[in-house]
Amino acid sequence: MTARLVPGATTVTTGARYSSLHGYVAHERNLSDSASLEVLRRWEIVVAAASEVHPSPGLPASHGAGVVGNWLRRDGHLDMVGLSTPKSGYANPERGFLGPYLGSEITMGILEGQLVTGDRYDHQSVRSGFDGLLDLAAQPIISLADLDGTANLAVGAAATEPDGRWLARLLTGSGSGEPSRSDDVRRNTIRTLVRAMALSGSSSPVDAVRDSAGRLTPILSWRRFLKSNRGAAFSIAMTPWEPGVACGRRWLMR
């Protein structure tokens, strides 16, 4: 259902900013696969650490937050060699948390393959959003003091940083060149959610859709009846309609 309504979105994680981060790794590092994945793991660790020191209330924890946060509280610093080691560090897989995002990143045009940039990757926006990341992640030891000025690297900073605004444009298919079919589908879904919120008066998309679904149930039942009763459908088709409801008739008859 997600692939049909919001192609490019993922239901297995909520950290959209990692898509910017993975595009950044792919653009910056023309290295062997193993070296590129080492860089990816280090950058994900820094993002987790920044998110622990500069949390955003209401957002889920960053990837590896438990391990990275415990290390900070216990030692007051991060051993980047130890934490970036697969299986014994912040993540088990060699490619960190790239796996849950890769399919979505390819669909959205951020990547073309594993750590290969896609044609919709916006390096200027991403580099500006993650200012300071490269130098910090290259350090062997990162102290709590080093993390004081890293609020822009936290997962919640996507709401204010340039890469977050780029991701929003990408998701809505605006400013990304010629819209694709996936862009059109996502935009239509977003319009539906916004309309549902406007009709219900709720600021929560979940509550708005739940309320709208209750209103739509009789309409959907009526549509199923028409599809199974061609006589009734023919009568409706032959009835004069006001122009304003013509589109509704066409939808019912589909």
Report DSSP letters for 158-170, one per residue: GGTSHHHHHHHHH
Residues 84 and 140 in one domain: yes
Cα–Cα distance for residue pair 153/246, rounded to 1 Å: 51
Enter the pTM of the model: 0.79
One domain for residues 60 and 118? yes
If DSSP codes are grouped into helix, strand and coil, which group holds residue 141? strand
pLDDT computed for residue 221 by the predictor: 52
How far, CA to CA in Å, does 173 sit from each of 91, 119, 136, 158, 184?
A: 33, 14, 33, 18, 7
Residues 6 or more apart from 179 whose CB is under 8 A from it? Answer: 173, 187
Q: Read off the pLDDT of residues 109-156 as tens digits, 9 standing for 90 and up.
A: 999 988 899 999 999 999 999 999 999 999 999 999 999 999 999 999
47/154 Cα distance (integer angstroms): 5
Q: 154-196 pLDDT, tens per residue?
A: 999 999 999 999 999 998 888 667 788 888 888 888 888 888 8
Same domain, 59 and 157: yes
Give the C-alpha separation, 174 to 75, whole Å.
45
Domain count, the chain: 2
Residue 232: band (very low, low, confident or very high) from pLDDT cuts 50, 70, 90: very low
pLDDT tens profile 73-118: 999 999 999 999 999 999 999 999 999 999 999 999 999 988 899 9
Write out the residue range of the structural domain in which residue 27 sits. 2-180
What is the predicted pLDDT for the residue at 9? 85
Q: Would you place residue 203 in the very low, low, confident or very high pLDDT band (cuts 50, 70, 90)?
A: confident
27 with 146, same domain: the answer is yes
Six token digits for residue 215: 């209103």
Ranges of beta strands (E only) in 67-219 are 77-79, 111-113, 116-117, 141-143
Cα 200–207–201 angle (5° rounding)?
A: 25
Residue 68 and residue 21 share a domain: yes
Domain assignment present for residue 193? The answer is: no
Tokens linked to 188: 């239509």
41 pLDDT band (50/70/90 cuts)? very high
The answer on 20 and 64 residing in a single domain is yes
Asked if 47 and 132 sit in the same domain, the reply is: yes
